[in-house]
Amino acid sequence: MTEHRAAEQAATDETVAKPAGTPPGDEAADLRDKWQRALAELANTRKWASRNAADQRLNERLAVSAAWLPVLDHLDLALQHAEADPATIVAGVQHVREQAQRVLSLLGFEPIGTVGEPFDPKLHEAAEVVEDAVVPPGTVARVLLPGYAKGDRLLRPAVVAVGAAPQQAGGPEAAAESRPAAGPDDRPGGGADGD
């Protein structure tokens, strides 16, 4: 009876594993078909994402370029009127600069680097050192070129002059200049004969 029961159990396991009326080869074909469809859907999703990313990059470039067109137009106008009154040219250039500043601001980039703030090598590029008793050491004494950042993303560091403590009149250089040159008698061991 044990063999008979084992045969019944095996038959029951086969009917649980596959639906009634499904031949064994059809189940494998069905799984293979689902797998191939999933691979095709994945490939299509990747192609769509690639096209979508390329379209987004192009749209961003178009938006940035369109934002700069008025600045370019105003520079062209300034060049056309180059023989005009110099004060008018200066006023026009200031207007174009303000317009360019607005474009950067619209893109999310704000100027960084102000006089008096502590020097930060992550945000500033030191071009000069200014020895001045009025400017605290390690602070920005002068902004040569403003930097721009959007949050923690740096477009360009600010190029600055950094304050340093002035050298004292009796500093290391003055001490070296006032010291007499070493003569033969000043060497260790005494005089010229080495006694």
Look at domain 110-167 and name its CATH class: mainly beta
The pLDDT tens digits for 89-118 are 888 888 889 999 999 998 899 999 999 999
pTM greater than the 0.75 cutoff: no
Q: Where are the alpha helices (DSSP H) in the chain?
A: 2-17, 24-80, 86-106, 172-178
The pLDDT tens digits for 32-60 are 999 999 999 999 999 999 989 988 988 88
Distance (Å, whole) CA 192 – CA 194? 5
Give me the CATH code for the 26-107 domain, please.
3.90.20.20
Distance (Å, whole) CA 41 – CA 114? 54
Domain boundaries, the chain: 26-107, 110-167
